[in-house]
Amino acid sequence: MVALMPPPMVASAQHPMVPRPYTVCGVRRETYDTFTLELGSEHAAEFAFAAGQFNMLYVFGVGEVPISISGNPTQPNVLIHTTREVGAVTRAMRQLSAGDVLGVRGPFGSHWPVEEAAGADVVIVAGGIGLAPLRPALYHILAHRERYGNVILLYGTRTPADILYKKELKQWEAGLRLPVHITVDRAAGAWRGSVGVVTTLIPRASFDPRNTVAMVCGPEVMMRFTARELEKRGVKPENIYVSMERNMKCAVGFCGHCQLGPTFICKDGPVFRWSRIEPLIAVREI
Amino acid sequence: METLEAILAQHPFFDRLEQRYLDLLVGCASNVRFDARQFILREGEEANHFYLIRHGKVALEIFAGHRGPITVETLEDGDIVGWSWLFPPYRWRFDARAVETTRAIALNGKCLRTKSEQDHDLGYELLKRFARIVEERLQATRLQLLDVYEVRS
Amino acid sequence: MMAAASQSATRLQPSTRLVLERNDFEQLLQTLKRRDYRLVGPTVREGAIVYGELDSAADLPVGWTDEQNGGSYRLRRRGDQALFGYVVGPHSAKMFFHPPAVRLWQAKREDRGFQVEEEKSESPRTALIGLRSCDLHAIAVQDRVFLHGPKVDPLYRARRENAFIIAINCGKAGGTCFCVSMNTGPKVTLGFDLALTEVLKDGRHYFVVEAGTERGFEVLSEVPNRPAQDNEVAAADLLVQRTAAQMGRSMETTGIKELLCRSYEHPRWDDVARRCLTCANCTMVCPTCFCTNVEDVTDLTGEHAERWQKWDSCFTMDFSYLHGGSVRPSAKARYRQWMTHKLATWIDQFGSSGCVGCGRCITWCPVGIDITEEVRAIRESERSISTQGANHGNP
């Protein structure tokens, strides 16, 4: 009697590379090259995520890109992504309208230390589009404001036209005692705010470096110089968090593209302590 | 009402400057105030003062022809404005305009140059402080030049 | 001990060594075919020994051997009729478990949305014949990537579960082999259904066989076999010992992770960059390299889309593309990435080295770059620096 061999296995329906389709509720222009997508679902907690995580967004027939989630983690019935229009996929996303369908995989990755920062001062430093991945952390912190000490937002952009979430920032500053300091790299005549790189805001900011958690997001060189400036003021590198980026294809640790030294940005990041990242990116072309 | 001496002593630029140098400097100092939109100094004019901002905001502007005035940097409480008085031809290289009501201490450049020539130790203390400011500004300006938020796709 | 005995007659012991005569080897293959396994094994094609579908033992490289060195691979005739008298060729088990092109899913447009059709695992039952110990360790290394991490690849898992493995204990070492250094051979110790050592001695031609699994034992039970005698076991073991002593290369692995992680700025990388063509051969032949690209494609109508997973290589400029440029534009950085990942950061990521000492990257590099030589050069330069330091004192 020949023993029966087990039958060939059917692939599991939970293949991590399959996108889930969701309906677009709206696409809103933020600036000349940046827009916000809102997706909805009937299920109340469909889009549960932690601040700092990202999704892979798929446009049928065009492609898939990693985009940080920039909505409110305490409202997981809508999914919000703010992104720049930089290539074929984001261009196609920009053309979507309410009722269209977008594929979503995620959420992936590590998150901002909003729990661990309780009891400390929180300095949030955003550069350019970097405010989008930080906004969920701000939502969380402001929803539990009493758990934190001084909380400030330092925000640098290229020009005043690039400032994101203007209305919201004003509301937060007015209503929630969140000091918001904005600076631009260059400005034409009408601008009455600060001009200069975002690092220039750090020496004057009100926080106790001995008890501060910093969350920094923006272009890599901006994060590097910001972390140095924070360290100069006495913030420990293990209390500075950055959000790193690398080429990303699968987001689940299979394709190998997103490696930075021994880390996979998709699994070990994108949020990292500066103390872990600093020695790695000190090596050029690592 | 605070004395000029006390104000000078408290300003971050003169942090840890010995009293006898502060005494020398007081003679060159005066209280000034600028209204919002008022020019503090103009490109091409003689550079006779430098300013310690006590409270307010100052924009360094360059007028770029048809592009209009471009603000290259803003300075706030505790910052200093202007070092062209240190080196010949002692002329301002750009405009500085108060963005909002700004109170400052003006220090007379010629007065400071004369006293520094007489007392090199005073000169050294001043130049040390200016050198640090210039280094920080240069560093920040280089970062600005990098145009880090530019889109490359 | 009768052939085709029922399961209860002989209990499977880990150390049970049986003998299969050369004449009965064909029956082993046919038994597998009867159980609906397609046979895949080494075969000669285009001047190399590669994996292909086999009909019978005659399709194996009978009487062939290989001569390998840096950037060099030649087949030579042996003086005997050994079925497995060679080592590893450019193919490895990853051709089957982690194939070069895999469709992940299909989708069709539906109203304003789309409907995804997932892939059923095609995975026909496959018997992989002729894998070596290094290959089995490499499979285990890839298992750690695709099965033991936070996410599991279900298509990979299906391919793994449907494979029957007949492994071979190497009777000779290859010119570029260094499995002994990497503790991955030559003796087969894990991941097999059956492990064979081919013995040609004193006019006899037989295999000493170990069963590694119940199903391996069941298959073997349908083929004439008997317990091995002591002299037969000794002959088999001697062959494997001799192989271990003949390794073409060696690599000192003590503290290798720390060595490479402190050598990112070592001048040796500039040296290898002058030679490396970034052709990516090494990543293609390496049995553990797993990097892939994800390609979303559509047909001309735009109604039908597919997502494919295809082999990729960290040696390409596109691999690290970000915001308008490559993070690793120089050949130096890309070679450094490959080697430090393979030998050092892989240990942080997966708990073991990524290298199994198979030597394929050395053989198939068109300019003969030798990973063992590169490690040696870095290690020895450190030794000579510390010797100099001892002579001249600390600066």
Q: Collapse the DSSP code of C130 into the 3-class scheme (helix H, G, I; strand E, B; otherwise coil) and give the result.
A: strand
Query: Whose structure tokens read 């600036």?
Result: A31
User: Tens digit of pLDDT per residue, chain C (395 long)?
Assistant: 334 444 444 555 656 899 999 999 999 999 999 999 999 999 999 999 999 999 999 999 999 999 999 999 999 999 999 999 999 999 999 999 999 999 999 999 998 899 999 998 768 899 999 999 999 999 999 999 999 998 999 999 999 998 999 999 999 999 999 999 999 999 999 999 999 999 999 999 999 999 999 999 999 999 999 999 999 999 999 999 999 999 999 999 999 999 999 999 999 999 999 999 999 999 999 999 999 999 999 999 989 999 999 999 999 999 999 988 999 999 999 999 999 999 999 999 999 999 999 999 999 999 999 999 999 999 999 887 766 655 544 44
Q: Collapse the DSSP code of C152 into the 3-class scheme (helix H, G, I; strand E, B; otherwise coil) and give the result.
A: coil
If one counts the domains in chain C, the total is: 2
Cα–Cα distance, C137 to C185 (Å, whole number)? 9
Q: Is B135 exposed, middle or buried (0-12, 13-18, 19+ CB in 10 A)?
A: exposed
B59 → closest Cβ in A195, A204, A218: A195
What is the tens place of the pLDDT at every residue in B77-94?
999 999 888 888 899 988
C129 touches C150 (CB < 8 A): no
Neighbours of C376 (CB within 10 A): 16
Residues B73, A196: C-beta atoms closer than 8 Å: yes
Query: Whose structure tokens read 């579960």?
Result: C161
Cα–Cα distance, C6 to C19 (Å, whole number)? 18
Which residues neighbour C308 within 8 Å (Cβ) at sequence distance 6 or greater? Answer: C101, C102, C103, C104, C294, C295, C296, C297
Select from B66, B143, B145, B153 the residue whose CB has the most chain A CBs within 10 Å, as the one to mutate to test that interface. B143
> Can you state the angle between helices C154-161 and C133-146, rounded to 10 degrees?
150
Which chains have at least 3 CB atom pairs separated by less than 8 Å from chain B? A, C
Cα–Cα distance, A102 to A59 (Å, whole number)? 6
- The verdict on C208 and C70 lying in the same domain is yes
- From C245, C266, C287, the end of a domain falls on C245
- The verdict on C96 and C169 lying in the same domain is yes
Chain B contact for A228 (CB, 8 A cutoff): no
- The verdict on C293 and C207 lying in the same domain is no
Cα–Cα distance, A54 to A187 (Å, whole number)? 32
Residues A195, B148: C-beta atoms closer than 8 Å: no
The residue segments making up the domain with residue C220 are 17-245
Chain B contact for C329 (CB, 8 A cutoff): no
Alpha helices in chain B (DSSP H): 4-10, 19-26, 109-118, 120-146
C7 inside domain: no
- The verdict on C61 and C120 lying in the same domain is yes
* Mean pLDDT confidence for B19-36: 92
Phi, psi of A223 (to 5 degrees): -65, -35
Q: Which of A83, A99, A101, A102 lies closest to A91 in space, CA to CA?
A: A83
Cα–Cα distance, C381 to A239 (Å, whole number)? 37
Q: How far is A249 from chain B (nearest CA, A)?
A: 16
What is the tens place of the pLDDT at every residue in C67-78?
999 999 999 999
Which residues of chain A form beta strands (DSSP E)?
Answer: 20-29, 34-40, 54-59, 63-68, 78-84, 101-108, 121-127, 151-157, 180-184, 187-188, 194-195, 212-217, 240-243, 259-260, 263-264, 271-273
C156 touches A16 (CB < 8 A): no
What residue ranges of chain A are covered by domains with CATH 2.40.30.10? 20-108
Q: Collapse the DSSP code of C381 into the 3-class scheme (helix H, G, I; strand E, B; otherwise coil) and give the result.
A: helix
- The verdict on C31 and C161 lying in the same domain is yes
Residues B70, A187: C-beta atoms closer than 8 Å: yes
Q: Does domain A20-108 have CATH number 3.30.300.130?
A: no
Q: Is the pTM of this model over 0.95?
A: no
CATH fold for domain A121-243: Rossmann fold (3.40.50)
Q: DSSP letters along C32-46, please?
A: HHHTTPEEEEEEEET
Chain C residue whose CA is closest to B148: C323
What is the tens place of the pLDDT at every residue in C78-97?
999 999 999 999 999 999 99
Which chains have at least 3 CB atom pairs separated by less than 8 Å from chain A? B, C
- The verdict on C265 and C226 lying in the same domain is no
| Type of residue found at A138 | L
- The verdict on C173 and C32 lying in the same domain is yes
Cα–Cα distance, C345 to C257 (Å, whole number)? 7
- The verdict on C241 and C261 lying in the same domain is no
Neighbours of A201 (CB within 10 A): 23
Sign of CA dihedral A144, A146, A148, A150: positive
- The verdict on C263 and C223 lying in the same domain is no
- The verdict on C175 and C41 lying in the same domain is yes
- The verdict on C198 and C262 lying in the same domain is no
Phi, psi of A146 (to 5 degrees): -70, -15
Phi, psi of B60 (to 5 degrees): -90, 120
- The verdict on C92 and C37 lying in the same domain is yes
A181 touches A212 (CB < 8 A): no
Cα–Cα distance, A174 to C101 (Å, whole number)? 56
Q: What is the ipTM of this complex?
A: 0.92
What value does the CA radius of gyration of chain C take, rounded to a whole number of Å?
23
C355 inside domain: yes
Q: Could you give the domains of chain B? A: 4-146 (2.60.120.10)
